[in-house]
Structure 1
Amino acid sequence: MQEIMKKTNVTLRKKKIANGKLSLYLDFYPPIQNAETNELTRREFLKLYLFDKPKDQLEKIANTESLQTAQLIQIRRQNELRKDDVYNEFEKEQLEIQRISRGSFLEYFKKIRDKKVGKNRLIWDTAIVHFEAFLKGNDLTFKEVTVTLIEDYKEYLLKAKNRKNNSSTIARNTALSYHNKLKTTLKNAYKEQKLRTDINAGIDSIKEQESQRNFLTLKEAKKLFSTPCPKRIVHQISKFSVLTGLRYSDIAKLTWEEIMFIEDDGYYIRFKQKKTEGLQTIPISNEAYEILAEKAQPVKTGKVFFDLKKWDVDRALPVWIARAGIVKHITFHCFRHTYATLQIASGTDIFTVSKMMGHKSIKTTQIYTKIIDEKKREASQRITLK
């Protein structure tokens, strides 16, 4: 790019437009990189105009002033493109900072989004839709990104309407998710030196609203797994989730290539979490591996639960829960909550549980300790001598 910039010539040109005027623009040859779009361009329109046929002295003077301004801009651009010869190292650095600061932060946000896949990509899509609505259709350069602006966006999210149901605001935890997408982008932009200050560090996240996390007690879990299930595959993956804490999405995509055995240590699963995209290695119990062994084919390749279909879970799980006499509202994700709650209740420290669950923050895992404390409080009230 430096070679292209050194050889680029800047020519001032005119283009006829309506109302008997000429638009002044710069012609770059070879083309240069546009600071906002990062695409090669030949033209820069200066928003300066000449009267094609000036009628009086005032129009002639206006033409002279516009032409002189355009010529000064032409000289400045030519010097910028030849800055290796004109400026010292500090000046070059400052010019590069200015160039980057004029770039589009919104386009950068979208480029980060484009690297995402699946359901996560859809969440990023909606996060950007809300950010564009907040900007009211305007673009945003890196130099315009401030702590105040992002704080204002946080307030916007907490009051924003649900795009599916315009009569209600989006849930607080949904707003948190959208806000975190922007914070991730700010963090990346600072890391890549597109932002001169770490704006992300100066912004507090939206506080998570604790949601109801239903789970099975050990007694209920044993009762459920001793109850016949309409679909064998549903029984298998549900038990596997309770024994490992894995989400449905990670169980569904689990392959034999992700299962390892280490002599004198046991079985491990090394996989990339679908939700967080984080690489995780967790040990699994022999009981959990026995479930996998039931699915073994002559050649252990491809998906372990090859015959798994989401609709089987949706149909069979409620029937199975009812057969077991469990009146709680239990979804498949509740098995992950069950794993965490039973681990903490059995004495496993919170840091180990957090690692096993693949949580990015210990705060997420602490929710389960609160559940245990509530159960202890309930138990303390059961004995009375009155």
Structure 2
Amino acid sequence: MKVTLRERQKNNKISLYLDYYHKGSRKSEYLRLYLNPNPKNKTERDLNKKTKKLAETICAQRQLEVQNGIYGFQDIEKLKGSFITYVTTLAEKKNTSSGNYGNWNSMLKHLKTFCKTDISFQEVDKIFVQKFKDYLGKDAMARAGKKLSQNSKYSYFGKFCAALKQAVKDGILKVNPANGVEYFKQGEPQREFLTLEELQKAVKTECELPLLKKAFIFSALTGLRWSDIEKLLWSEIQHSNELGYYIRFRQKKTKGAETLPISEQARELLGEEGKPDEKVFGNLHYSAWTNLKLQQWMMNAGITKKITFHCARHTYATLQLTLGTDIYTVSKLLGHKELKTTQIYAKVIDSKKKEAANKIKLDL
């Protein structure tokens, strides 16, 4: 296969592209590099020279890849495929977790806004990646008409880069164009939780959805995520003389196998044992409407904080640390892979201690 650098007049500029010729067939790869057809000064002439030199370097690299069997005719066809369609398909595959799918879907919406029109894999290079990152950082808007939060930028760009990594795995891209582009730093997440007093108030207050209330309290007593509570089977709740009650399950988020000790109170909360293959919480669903009912339950209990179901897990973690459980043990109970994830809760406790220390003031 022969690779040749060619030029094509396009509007008021000259587009540079690679021509692949093999056994009577031709394919093209546009480089998104352009020459000024009528340079008027030395600066414009120098820019043309640098652009042409870059295109020649890419052409030589492609020829080398062809000779080494890295790059072939089929790869050119793959590069012509729609990048937006590919990312859309990836996002749909993530529709197993509302939070994860929501982040993928939001990233896709921003990508479509940024691109205006569909683009091929040929157009996705390091410059494109950097420009999309800049768009997320400076121009992208959230629903409320505000700039994206630091964590949203971090999450969306991370999902975008994950799509590029997958494209490399799928053999569409030979090199990840995001290599060398610095990621956004993750912001300090807000961990809302209930105090022991507030949790006790919630326990004594009726909820319009009793099953939701039971699941929330169970999460606050065990630290289990919603995704693990929703799929929890009776066969996974076990008992032994040595461990007492415990749950043997595989985390949906991390896929890690866990053995989680639970209190007798947590087990009693569940009531009579069902069949081994039955879900403990039956037909439990979580949606915007369910979350509204959760908020109403909290308000009826006199709690004004914005509480979501995941706050039950935060409550478990902060209460364990507040009551003296060491951070390493809490980390294991939560199923965290890294201790630094659990340290976020320790910072919350430290800030509460500082807040408490400043409550006593005297007129001296």
TM-score in terms of structure 1 length: 0.63
1:95 aligns with 2:71: yes
Deviations 1:146-201 (A, max 9, x none): 2x432221121133444756x44444433332211112123334455654445555
User: Is the 1:105–1:142 Cα contact (8 Å) retained in structure 2?
Assistant: no
Structure 2 CA distance for aligned equivalents of residues 93 and 189 of structure 1 = 19
Q: Aligned partner of 1:333: which letter?
A: H
In structure 2, what is the Cα distance between the partners aligned to 1:136 and 1:316?
39
What is the match of residue 45 of structure 2? none
CA shift in 2, pair 1:205/1:369, >3 Å: farther
Are 2:183 and 1:205 aligned? yes
2:223–2:334 contact (8 Å) kept in structure 1: yes
Instruction: Provide structure 1 residue ranges, at least 5 long, that are not aligned to the other structure.
Output: 1-47, 49-69, 79-87
Q: Distance in 1 between matches of 2:338 and 2:183?
A: 13
Query: 1:248: Cα distance to partner?
Result: 3.2
Once the two structures are overlaid, the 10-residue window that deviates more, 259-268 or 211-220, is 259-268
The 8 Å contact of residues 354 and 362 in structure 1, kept in 2 or not, is answered as yes
Question: Structure 2, unaligned stretches of length 5 or more?
Answer: 1-7, 9-18, 27-63
Contact map agreement 2:248 2:258 (CA 8 A) in 1 = yes
Whether the 8 Å contact between 2:94 and 2:101 is mirrored in structure 1 is: yes
Number of residues of Structure 1 aligned to a counterpart in Structure 2: 303
The alignment status of 1:153 with 2:132, answered yes or no, reads: yes
How far apart in 2 are the matches of 1:200 and 1:361?
25
Corresponding residue SS for 2:69 = helix
Following superposition of structure 1 onto structure 2, how do residues 126-137 of structure 1 map, counting pairs within 5 Å?
126-137=106-117
| Secondary structure in structure 1 of the residue aligned to 2:93 | coil
| Structure 1 position 236, deviation (Å) | 1.8
Counterpart of 1:75 (choices 19, 23, 47) is 23
Matches of residues 18-37 of structure 1 in structure 2 within 5 Å? none
Percentage of identical aligned residues: 35
* 8 Å CA contact retained: 1:134, 1:153: yes
- Other-structure match for 2:348: 371
Any conservation in 2 of the 1:154–1:179 contact (CA below 8 Å)?
yes
Secondary structure of the residue aligned to 1:270 is strand
Partner deviation per Cα, 1:313-370 (whole Å, 9 max, x = no partner): 5565445434544443433332121112112323444455445435566554333222
1:306 aligns with 2:282: yes
d(CA) in 2 for partners of 1:269, 1:248: 16
Indicate if the aligned counterparts of 1:295 and 1:305 stay in contact, CA closer than 8 A: no
Change over 3 Å in CA distance of 1:251–1:134 after alignment to 2: same
Aligned to 2:217: 239
Q: How does 1:1-386 map to 2 (within 5 A)?
A: 73=21, 75-77=23-25, 91=67, 93-96=69-72, 99=75, 102=79, 104=81, 106=83, 107-118=85-96, 119=98, 120-141=100-121, 144-146=124-126, 148-162=127-141, 167-191=145-169, 194-197=172-175, 199-200=177-178, 202-227=180-205, 229=207, 232-261=210-239, 264-265=242-243, 266-273=245-252, 276=253, 278-286=255-263, 287-292=265-270, 294-297=271-274, 299-306=275-282, 308=284, 310=286, 314=291, 317-318=294-295, 320-359=297-336, 363-384=340-361, 386=364
Residue by residue over 1:295-317, the C-alpha shift from the partner in whole angstroms, topping out at 9 and shown as x without a partner, is: 523x3332211254658955654
SS in 1 for 2:193: coil
State whether residues 65 and 71 of structure 2, in contact with CA within 8 Å, keep that contact through their aligned partners in structure 1: no
Does structure 1 conserve the Cα–Cα contact (< 8 Å) formed by 2:79 and 2:173? no
Give 1 or 2 for the bigger CA radius of gyration: 1
Deviations 1:99-147 (A, max 9, x none): 268354715434433422243445423322322332331423268422x
Q: Deviations over 1:29-74 (max 9, x none)?
A: xxxxxxxxxxxxxxxxxxx9xxxxxxxxxxxxxxxxxxxxx9x946
Measure, in 2, the Cα distance between the counterparts of 1:223 and 1:190: 52
Structure 1 pair 193–95 and aligned structure 2 pair: CA distance change class (3 A): closer
Instruction: Please report how far the alpha carbon of residue 220 of structure 1 lies from its aligned counterpart in structure 2 after TM superposition.
Output: 2.9
Report the CA distance between 1:255 and its aligned residue. Answer: 2.5
TM-score w.r.t. length of structure 2: 0.66
| Segments ≥4 residues shifted beyond 6 Å | none
Distance 1:349 1:105 in 2: 51
| 3-state SS, counterpart of residue 95 of structure 1 | coil
Q: One-letter code of the match for 2:319?
A: L
Cα distance change on mapping 1:201 and 1:355 into 2, 3 Å: farther
- Separation in 2, partners of 1:131, 1:315: 30
Shift of 1:372: 0.9
**Greater displacement, 337-346 / 256-265:** 256-265
| Aligned equivalents of 2:272, 2:299: Cα separation in 1 | 27
Whether the 8 Å CA contact 2:141–2:148 is kept in 1: the answer is: yes
